[in-house]
Amino acid sequence: MTSKIRTGIVYDDRFLLHETGMHPEKKERLKSIMGFLEQKGALEKLELIEPRKARVEEIEYAHTKNYIEEIESYCAKGYNAIDMDTMICSASYEVALLSAGGAITAVDKVMSGELDHVFSFGRPPGHHAEPNRGMGFCLFNNVAIAAYHAMKEYNLERILIIDWDVHHGNGTQVMFYHDPRVLFFSTHQSPAYPGTGSFNEVGAGKGEGYTVNVPLPPGSGDADYEYIFQEFLRPLCDQFKPQLILVSSGHDAHENDPLAGMALSSQAYGMMAKMVKEIAEKYCDGKIVLVLEGGYNLNALAEAVFNVLDTLAGWGMSSPEKKEGVLLRQNSKNAVEMQTEKLKEFWPDL
Ligand SMILES: [Zn+2]
């Protein structure tokens, strides 16, 4: 008996047209993911969704008109970078519209009830992009645009964004810093690029308490993330009660990632997905949208993405547990304690 497919991926060969040369954020990342899913026999068990391009008005939810026009004109003029590490090519503007559109399409599929979980493999990634500047390999902030779309089109008032990329999602944080409709929760290596995301950044004005940062020292691994998700994210969600969960799904906290120094195993991504799935089932009919951010070891990236999809779809091909024998570090307990202290006035049941 075949059960109904409830999990999808957004993919389009045009995502490969954003050429970055000898750069870690390269098209081979997506080829590796898609190749691995095929090899595992997973593609036929997933709904394959074609993205549409985001309209400029939709990009404007998150970015200034001026900045959007700047990117368009840099691409038209054939520039090959917008800063030291953010590459572009002549096609990048259109591909970035498609990448943002992929996140929007994913929200529509989940909000319409057609699917429970959709992972958009759009690139360029987005979480570093701020309202008026791109940076850190990112042009348009896909996850933020998806959140705005969900608020505008579906009148949602409580969206949780989990950013488990190893880098802090500075762009996403800035966009919702004053906005209590979006709870932004980020685990990231510290110190590391881009340097933001300290405990003290908790939001401001009406958004105070709705930005939650858990900076972690290099070397943090499965047991640390398990502890943080279990002991901190879960009680936070019991109070916030999200209506939709978006995940900035970077896989560069993996132990084999060349750009960062964390120690997550591939199966840890299944473990985190399992906890997020439980939260989603409790509060929002299981609705989860993931958008791809970082992850630069091609094999680790593919394995980690597969484990996330496996856990969400319930195929049972991988183990959604922490790797055996990995110990919880005192640092992580301290991080949770400090953040709890800081946020207790907003979330008394922490
Ligand atoms: Zn990253």
Q: What confidence tens digit (pLDDT) does each residue in 186-198 have?
A: 999 999 999 999 9
10 Cα: distance to centroid of ligand 1 (angstroms)? 20
Q: What percent of the chain has pLDDT over 70?
A: 99
125 Cα: distance to centroid of ligand 1 (angstroms)? 9
Q: What confidence tens digit (pLDDT) does each residue in 269-312 have?
A: 999 999 999 999 999 999 999 999 999 999 999 999 999 999 99
Q: What confidence tens digit (pLDDT) does each residue in 86-117 have?
A: 999 999 999 999 999 999 999 999 999 999 99
Position 2 scores a pLDDT of: 53
Query: End-to-end distance of the chain based on CA atoms, in angstroms?
Result: 43
Distance CA 245, CA 226 (A): 18
Distances in Å between the Cα of 178 and the Cα atoms of 81, 172, 236 are 31, 12, 18
252 Cα: distance to centroid of ligand 1 (angstroms)? 6
Distance CA 163, CA 183 (A): 11
- The more confidently predicted of residues 69 and 4 is 69
- What torsion do the CA atoms of 329, 332, 338, 344 make, to the nearest 10 degrees? -120
Considering Cα of 279, then 254, then 176, then 106, what sign does the dihedral take?
Answer: negative
Q: What percent of the chain has pLDDT over 90?
A: 97
Q: Please identify every residue annotated as catalytic.
A: 128
| Section 336-348 average pLDDT | 94
| Section 50-58 average pLDDT | 98
Q: What confidence tens digit (pLDDT) does each residue in 106-145 have?
A: 999 999 999 999 999 999 999 999 999 999 999 999 999 9
Q: What is the pTM of this model?
A: 0.98
User: Given a cut of 70, is residue 1 above it in pLDDT?
Assistant: no
Q: Residue 106 in contact with residue 146, Cβ under 8 Å?
A: yes
Q: What is the mean pLDDT of the chain?
A: 97
275 Cα: distance to centroid of ligand 1 (angstroms)? 21
112 Cα: distance to centroid of ligand 1 (angstroms)? 30
| Section 15-23 average pLDDT | 96
User: Length of the chain, please?
Assistant: 350
Q: Which domains are assigned to the chain?
A: 7-343 (3.40.800.20)
The 10 Å Cβ neighbour count of residue 77 is: 8
User: Given a cut of 60, is residue 345 above it in pLDDT?
Assistant: yes
195 Cα: distance to centroid of ligand 1 (angstroms)? 12
